[in-house]
Structure formats: structure tokens, C-alpha cells
Structure 1
Amino acid sequence: MTFRRTLSYCTNVHPAESVEGIVEQLDRFSVPVREALGADVLGLGLWLPAPAARHLAADPAARRRFRAELTARGLVVQTLNAFPYRGFHEPVVKHSVYHPRWSEKARLDYTRDCATVLATLLPDDAEYGSISTLPLGWRTEWTTADDARATAALADLTDYLRTLARPVRLAVEPEPGCVLDTVADAVGWLAHRVDPEFVGLCLDTCHLAVSFADPAAAVGSIEDAGLRVYKVQASNALEAPAGESEALRRFIEPRYLHQVRARTADGAVHKADDLPAAYAELPADAPWRVHFHVPLHAEPQAPLRTTTDVLRTAVASLDGTPHIEVETYTWTVLPGGVVREDPITGIAEELRWAENNLEGVRA
């Protein structure tokens, strides 16, 4: 079986903080996923924690060796997930994933390191490489001074991307609760502020669904603003129909933040920053959507459902063929009964689902 190499799965699901640990995870998970699919080549949306990115960026020979390790295993990399800086599998992650912010030098340095690495890892025939990144930072910590520093940092990064031998693009990923909460926020902030040849959007379809935005209109607004979607994170949110929010309680867990939105009959979208808080803050008689990535092929127990239609519509609305990364990082925190497979089989099933159900993915 041959999969289009712009389809990948994100390795932030695997805990590893060093290059050696990443290679071990490739052998433990990525190669078995490729074999389960019967695929000659498997795309990875690679996550490089900051120490691993720094090590590789500082050593061209190490980058070449790492590329050889990938090639030997039938693995290719056209996109990096540079949203989590490190420690993405700590017992409690929550708001720490939004640090460092784009107003801090550490975020610029880390992203520059990732770009250096990706320029080496890109297949020779790749149109471009993409790096997804956080939407500036968490909203409650953001100031006008941070805004100015982030603008300057993105300009510095763009200057660096122009010097690379291979084309690498930054993809800013709107997320509920952040400075750039929605696609509309991201478009409004980025337009006329960045060079769209180098900086565009990462469309996470779970985040898009949680915002209750119309997916086709959201994609259209990006293109109308002269921006590009360089990357899609194919992901589903959880949805509870009106009056059924109690069914979500078993998805409460301590590691990750699970933002919730409820839309009332008048079209207003009400917000809560985490699932436990939602029960005190949101109307129970409205449908709820939760930032909890559910495997693409999974069907939660009724009355809950997933936002598959948002994913399908968003991808079908895109102009061109951006990188598509399956990003379900929640395998270790899913409650029992949502999926029955081990992660290797489950990731393979997600990729099969994407290959069979999303436009532009089939080779």
C-alpha cells in the first residue's frame, strides 16, 4: 500500500526527550504502524522536544545520521509539531504547554532549531516543509508589549527561513483559550503582519470544531486574507448534545487541558477553560464541544459523538494539498471503552480512515 507522503501521524503521542529516545520510539511504534498498514513508506509529523532539536540543529552530522535512521526504517518527515516545547507527557501538562510564548526568545530559538532540522530531513522532492506552532500564548498572560515582541520574533524567524536551502513554512495553530482563540483571531492578527510566503496557518480541526465556526467559511476567510493553510491537524472533538453534558464527566483527567464551548439557541458561544469548570460555568441545556482529541475512527458511547463532519468539510474546502497530520495524543488518557485497539493498531486504523475518507489524501 502506498500512502501520500503528505499524510502523517504526529509523534507527540510518544514520550521521548532525547534523540536516542526518539529513535527508540520509532522502533517501538512507528515502524510497527507502517508494517501494520503494509506501507512502503510512512509519513511522520515529528515532535522534537527542545533539547533534541537543539542537539540536532547544532550538529550537521547528527542531522544526517538522524535522516539516515528515518530512511532505513521507511519513515519520512515533511512536517514538525513544534507546539509542545518539552515535557508533553508529564503527569500534569495543562497550561505549561503554552510556554515559552512567542514573546520569549526561547520560543524563537526552539522554532529556528526545528527549521534547521527540518531543512535537512525533508525528502528531496518535497514542495516544502511545515512547522506548526502555538497561537502566541495563553490569553490571560498576554500584553500589548508581548504583541510587539511576538511580531518582531516572527519577523526574525521569517528572515531565517529565507536563508535555508530548503523551503520551510511556519503554521500558526489557533486554539481555544489562547491569544489567537479562533481562525478569525488568527487571520486578523496575521494578515498584514507576516509574509504569507513563509507564515500561514495550521488548521486543527478539533480546535475549529470546538469554536463552533463554520468550517467552509473559516477556510474561505483564510484564503480571502491572502494567507495559506500550510498544515492540517486532522482531529475530532467530543460533542455532547443539549442536555447530555453529564456524559462527558468520565473524560475528566489531570494531564491535559480540555477547553469547552457551548452554543445556545441565539448563536452565542459560551466558554470554559477546562472540562471540570464547565459544569459550573456553561448552560447545561446547550450542546457542548470539548477539546479532547478522539481517534478519527472511534465512535464514543451514545449520547456522545465526534465532530467528523467538521473535519471532512474543512479538508474538502481547502485549496491545494497542505500537509495532513493525524494528531491524536490522548491515547493514554482515554477512558475505557472509547477504543479497543492498542496504540499501534489504533494509529494504523486512524491513518486508514484518513486515507479512505479525506479528500486529497489518497495517493
Structure 2
Amino acid sequence: MLLSYCTNVHPAEDLDGVIRQLRGYSGPIRRSAGRDVLGVGLWIPAELARRLAGSPDDLAALGEVLTAEGLQLHTINAFPYGGFHNDVVKHDVYKPTWAEAARLEYTMDCAEILAALLPEGVAGSISTLPLAWREPWTQHDDDAASTALAEASTRLRKLRDRTGRTVRIAVEPEPGCVLDTVSDVVGWLGARVVSGIDPEFIGLCVDTCHLAVSFADPAEAIDQIDAAGLRVVKVQASSALHVSDPSSPAARAALSTFAEPRYLHQVRESGTSGVLTADDLTEALIDLPGESPWRVHFHIPLHHIPSAPLETTADVLRETVAEVGRLPYNEQIHLDIETYTWNVLPEPPAGIVEGIAAEIAWAQTHLLRATSLT
């Protein structure tokens, strides 16, 4: 697997800002982690992606900074379209949807950037949203999204013919979205292969926080993808919050410190009658019964062990990577550390540079080395 960390943790909306973040954060993170070369999963907002895709000079300037800082670009996170560090993001992160032309054009701009900046012999990946938030979503929207991803398949094949570089789109299931689970993505993509969505270019991004929140079994999820003839293109290494007894006063007090206003923190409760849902942690603390364990969509630093009674789902992360490591093409899969929540953690365990370097070291030891994928 190709290890990287995602730069969506750093606020930057223009080229100067991205260059500053590479010099001020990514390069120092590489050095702090003791790596000669570090992969980065860039987040490039749509307006900047359009500029870069149309400007060889700007692309060259970005490439020069990557090289100077000892960084390699393997993957782009094209889920947030822009404004990912606004005071309130919440549902805006799911706009525009795959039913809107702007989503396709943004994604293809990112593909052009990757084709220009990928290291020799490395395929690129673009993680993207699971079509949209679940409401509102119509059959017309669904048909438009099918057409858009089929068009993306065609354009990615033409890009490879023109440049010799393979770039793949990785659809990322997320709780509350049209494609909520891995099963949803497998079913949706599998039903549309005959209508032009090419599994050579359109596969899955398995975010291990999202997987854990849905209480999915990692082995079953990866087996399901493989059995459908689809590809795991990318794994986003992330851990969710877990609490065994969310009804206890200590647990509720601890959880309340994570109920912040910027991002959506979906909650699932695994009960005897099924999985109960809440679209945000603030709602869960009011509406869910708390009779069974909760998992919360809040990305926790990989190496961090929160104070009891809170736990993380690092075990789901480790098991998922082990299962993905058994796939015959595992060396081509991107493993991107995506803890975008450093700036909203109630008690960050370290500064961002030291903290992400510690995450990289943890991933090297507990994910790659433990599964013989180095």
C-alpha cells in the first residue's frame, strides 16, 4: 500500500495557501516522521483545481514544491468541493451532488492534476462523495449521477490513452448519504456496470471510520467488494469514537465535548432490534435511547487513546487494512490518513505537526508492518 496523509486538515483555498501548507506543515511532518519521502493526499478546492488543470505553469510550480519538500502526490480528496474550514460545514460538504455537472467537472480537473504530478509508475486515486446526502434525492438525480459516472469512466480512459497515467475514482460510502454503506455502493455500482460505469476506473474508497460507525464487519465488506468484481481503490485510515454504555453520566459528559458546530458527526446505536440512527451527535444525545453501544463519526487521531469511558475503533481500522492486504493488487491501493478534525478536537493530544507524524509512525507499525505491506 502507498501511505499518505490527507491535507484537508489544513485550511487553504488558493495556490499560495496550498504551497504554504506544504512548506509549513507537510514538509515538517515528513521530517518529524523521519521519512525520506512522504505521500500526501491533497485536498484541492474546486476553484483551484480548475486553475491548476488549465495552467501548466501553476502545475509545475506545485510540482516543484512537492519535490523540494520530499513529498509525493498519490491521491486527491475531492469530497469537499470548497469551504471545508468554514465556521459551519455540516451538510454543505455533500454539495454539489453527482447529479450536478459541477461535480463531474471538478473531479475531472483533479484527474488532470494527478496525471501531471503522479510519480512514475503510480496510479492515482480521487475519493468522492457517495452521490449526495440522502435527502432530497430523486430517480432523476440517480439517473443523472449514473450518466455522470459513466462519462467519468470514458474520460478517465481517454486520459490514460493521452498521458499514459491511470487515475481512478473512489466512491466513499458515508452514514446518512444516498450510498450509506459499502453494501450500498457495491449494489449501486454493480447494477450500472452494464450501462457504462467501468470498474477499471470507478471503485471504492473504504473510510474505516465510516465502516466502523455502520457496525459493518470488515472482512465481509472487503469480500463483498471483491466478489462483485469491484476494486478497493483507496482506504482512508481513520478511527471513530466508541462508547459501550452511552447512558452513563460520565459517557454523556465526555461525548458532549465532541459536539462541535463545524462538521456533521453521525451516530449509530447497535441494539438488539437493529441499528438506530442520528444525523448528528447533538441529536443523538437527545433522541437515542443509549441502551446499546454507540459509534460516532468523529475522526480520532490513529495513535490516540481517549480517556475512559470513551474508546476508538482502531481495531476496525487494523482489521480492514489486514483484509485489504490480502487482495492481489494491494500494493496499488492508497492508504491515506484522514484525521481532518485536529482543529476541532476538544483536547488535541499534540500539535498538528507532531501529531500527524505520530499517526504516520503508528500506521507504519500497526498497519503496514503488521500486515507485511511495507
1:233 is aligned with what amino acid? Answer: Q
Residue 249 of structure 1 aligns with which residue?
A: 256
Q: How does 1:216-231 map to 2 (within 5 A)?
A: 216-231=219-234
The TM-score, its normalising length taken from structure 2, stands at 0.93
Partner residue, 1:189: 188
Whether 2:311 is the aligned partner of 1:312: answer no
Q: How does 1:1-363 map to 2 (within 5 A)?
A: 6-126=2-122, 128-164=123-159, 165=163, 166-193=165-192, 194-242=197-245, 243-244=247-248, 245-246=251-252, 247-266=254-273, 268-318=274-324, 319=327, 320-321=330-331, 322-336=333-347, 339-359=348-368, 363=374
Relative to structure 1, is the Cα distance of residues 361 and 62 closer, same or farther in structure 2, using a 3 angstrom cutoff? farther
Task: Compute the displacement of 1:125 (Å).
Answer: 2.3
Deviation track 1:48-85 (CA, whole Å, cap 9, x = no partner) reads: 01111010001123212221221111110010000000
Q: CA deviation at 1:361?
A: 7.1
Q: Is the 8 A contact 2:153 2:198 kept in 1?
A: yes
Alpha carbons 2:304, 2:349 under 8 Å: kept: no
Q: Secondary structure at the match of 1:83?
A: coil
In the alignment, the residues of structure 2 paired with residue 263 and residue 178 of structure 1 have an alpha-carbon distance, to the nearest angstrom, of 19
Letter in structure 1 aligned against 2:341: T
Q: Report the CA distance between 1:362 and its aligned residue.
A: 5.2
**1:292-337 deviation line (CA, Å, top 9, x unaligned):** 000000011101100011101111111123100000000010012x
Distance in 1, Cα, partners of 2:118 & 2:372 = 19
Change (3 A) 1:73 1:130: same
Letter of the structure 2 residue corresponding to residue 317 of structure 1: E
Is residue 354–residue 361 contact of structure 1 (8 Å, CA) maintained in 2? Answer: no
CA contact (8 A) 2:98 2:132 kept: yes
Provide the C-alpha distance between the structure 1 equivalents of 2:349 and 2:311, rounded to a whole number of angstroms.
Answer: 17
How far apart, CA to CA, are the structure 2 residues paired with 1:300 and 1:141? 36
Tell me, yes or no, if the aligned pair for 1:356 and 1:362 is still in contact at 8 Å: no
How many residue pairs are counted as aligned between the two chains? 355
Q: Distance in 1 between matches of 2:349 and 2:338?
A: 18
Do the aligned partners of 1:355 and 1:361 also contact (CA within 8 Å) in 2? no
Query: How far is 1:163 from its partner?
Result: 1.3
Query: Counterpart amino acid of 2:20?
Result: E
**Hey, what's the Cα distance between the residues in 2 that align with 1:303 and 1:65?**
48
Give the Cα–Cα distance (whole angstroms) in 1 for the partners of residues 310 and 272 of structure 2. 19
Inter-partner Cα distance in structure 2 for 1:110 and 1:99: 12
Partner SS state of residue 187, structure 2:
helix
Contact 1:102 1:153 in 2 (8 A): yes
1:281 is displaced (CA, Å) by: 2.2
Distance 1:278 1:135 in 2: 23
- CA distance in 1 between counterparts of 2:17 and 2:206 reads 29
Distance 2:338 2:114 in 1: 19
Contact 1:258–1:290 under 8 Å retained in 2: yes
* Unmatched 5+ stretches in structure 2: none
Question: SS at 2:135's partner residue?
Answer: helix
Question: Secondary structure in 1 aligned to 2:256?
Answer: helix
Shift of 1:20: 1.1
CA RMSD of aligned residues (A): 1.2
For residues 361 and 80 of structure 1, what CA distance do their matches in structure 2 show? 25
The runs of 4+ residues in structure 1 deviating greater than 4 Å are none
Report if the CA contact (8 A) 1:67-1:121 is conserved.
Answer: yes
Counterpart-to-counterpart distance in 2, 1:327 and 1:340: 16
CA distance in structure 2 between the aligned counterparts of 1:147 and 1:314, rounded to whole angstroms: 29
Structure 1: 5+ residue stretches without partners: none
Are the equivalent residues in 1 in contact too, given 2:22–2:65 (CA < 8 A)? no
